[in-house]
Structure 1
């Protein structure tokens, strides 16, 4: 039995239809099962788009055929892995971050379809918002299709309550019947964000809260998922983070990772330890707990994924300017010591 023919054009068309349906469903003023249906449609849109990208690039979208069984196309998770492996994400967009975003939604989709998703809709909301914008960039880059062409963006921002951020959802006393499901999902998100942040992913592409003009307000990092707010709002519990997860890089590893990720105009020069020292002096990176950590008993600093992203984003021109200022600072300090 020959492998079925699959049209990338039809995959793209159906993918866009699924995403538009998801947006329409979510924006209905009265809708039961809103979050579950929306996520199912968004994941379906991504699955079809990822398969279209693989098909367009001449890559396999079927599993190896088993005897006496029909051909099976890749599940969303496996299609995503193949797109990551073959680097089919848009140029200039962090594929690690996009993959983390879709993975979070797939996890929620699996719970909703095969069991139930407890009451996690508000937790997944920032991932949905970001996923729509990521999807638009993906479709524009791969297929020259703009999702915005089919959407009236002038929507009235009306509602009984504003969507909560993940930090507000993390209550110390969830319903007993939902404890295991909620905790499993939250721990999965923590691990996912840990890995993405440690890899230097652009966390703005993983999950963020946007206003009605689609301007980013803040990215969601693992830090937003370690604070627990009591129902009464009377106390806040902070869970200690593990620096081995949040700050996994030595200085040498940090420089190596930054140089591997610096691409594009104005980012041609390989950075050195001196560039790092100059930037630390200029930006006080060692005093920023999001960037650096050192044990109180001494030892060297270790660095986070945020530090990677910070250094990657700066141009050669900026580093040249900082190096010059740092050199002047060292010379002045040396002259003062002689006096």
Structure 2
């Protein structure tokens, strides 16, 4: 294999991991800027490696200046030719942030860009697998792929009180432009990041535990806060099925099982399988996974990222028997 190609792919993964490490390290205040630098660098190296693979090494150099390689912006347009592609829009917005970061940025940009960062992470993993047949999750555990963010909202009045008119206008204009694209509700552009805590007496159901004490040193109070379901539950059923199939393929999980309908062996996860999980685990009744939108006499469900992770976890326990097991249990 071309040595330049190998070097680009290797350094791309290193830049990606550095970006995650910087962003998820709580002591670093420069993490938005640092992440934008490294995630853009990782994409640029990966896309240049694809250009070499598709068109030869000369394709990454300017014809009128062979000593200079093409930019990330050029690579994005060459490979993602649809200018309305949510993945391309996501990258272009993060490139804009990187360019702003070289001059000036505020901590409030994190609230705006964090959902885009999360999508960018998942998009990178998918394209690295598709373009270069490399599973990035072999380099880092799945749990570290969820970014730790500052959860807050941008109150225009507070923003204008904190910054000059020019800076406040820039922040609020950026927020408005990104929200306009987010209305299309495509996970390839943005994914809201949630860290949810639930009170339960069943210790085996908990990921972490706390002790409630009357005279505890740290005061704690329970807050009920309404969340925007378009951000907390952005996936349609079709989106969920597509994402699950992408991850099964990327992680080379042998999901082959017998279909009683076609009388054939199939290896894709379909909507019937998704509905089976919903029914068996009563996932529609759990707000963590599902949200019911009521419009007049009609209702429609959307889903969170957590439901995708849950279904994949269950499939991985026994890939070839999971569906058959659920069907048998459901019939009883």
So what's the TM-score if we normalise by structure 1?
0.51
119, 135, 154: which one pairs with 1:169? 154
Alignment RMSD: 4.0
The Cα shift of 1:177 comes to 3.4
Question: 1:12 is matched with which residue?
Answer: 9
Question: 2:96 is matched with which residue?
Answer: 107
Matched residue of 2:69: which SS?
coil
Question: 1:301 is matched with which residue?
Answer: none
Structure 1 segments of 4 or more deviating over 6 A?
Answer: 156-159, 283-288
Question: 2:233 is matched with which residue?
Answer: 218
Question: 2:63 is matched with which residue?
Answer: 64
Contact 2:8 2:49 in 1 (8 A): yes
Question: 2:258 is matched with which residue?
Answer: none
Question: 1:244 is matched with which residue?
Answer: none
175, 180, 185: which one pairs with 2:166? 180
199, 203, 217: which one pairs with 2:186? 203
Which residues in structure 2 correspond to 1:130-149 (within 5 Å)? 130-149=119-138
Contact 2:90 2:120 in 1 (8 A): yes
The Cα shift of 1:202 comes to 6.2
Matched residue of 1:209: which SS?
coil
Structure 1 unaligned blocks of 5 or more? 88-93, 221-265, 267-282, 289-339
Structure 2 unaligned blocks of 5 or more? 197-230, 236-269, 271-292, 299-332
So what's the TM-score if we normalise by structure 2?
0.52
Matched residue of 1:210: which SS?
coil
Alpha-carbon distance in structure 2 between the residues aligned to 1:84 and 1:202: 20
Contact 1:100 1:196 in 2 (8 A): no
Contact 2:19 2:36 in 1 (8 A): yes
Which residues in structure 2 correspond to 1:1-339 (within 5 Å)? 7-58=4-55, 60-66=59-65, 71-85=67-81, 96-113=85-102, 115-119=103-107, 120-154=109-143, 163-164=150-151, 168-174=153-159, 175=161, 177-188=163-174, 190-191=176-177, 194=180, 203-211=186-194, 217-219=232-234
Greater CA deviation, 13-22 or 176-185?
176-185
Matched residue of 2:157: which SS?
coil
Alpha-carbon distance in structure 2 between the residues aligned to 1:116 and 1:32: 14
Aligned residues, how many?
Answer: 207
Matched residue of 1:133: which SS?
helix
Alpha-carbon distance in structure 1 between the residues aligned to 2:27 and 2:14: 21
Question: 1:226 is matched with which residue?
Answer: none
Alpha-carbon distance in structure 2 between the residues aligned to 1:183 and 1:132: 28
The Cα shift of 1:285 comes to 9.7
The Cα shift of 1:98 comes to 0.6
Q: Deviations over 1:111-150 (max 9, x none)?
A: 111x111231222111111110010001011111111111
| Shift in CA distance, 73/158, structure 1 to aligned 2, threshold 3 Å | closer
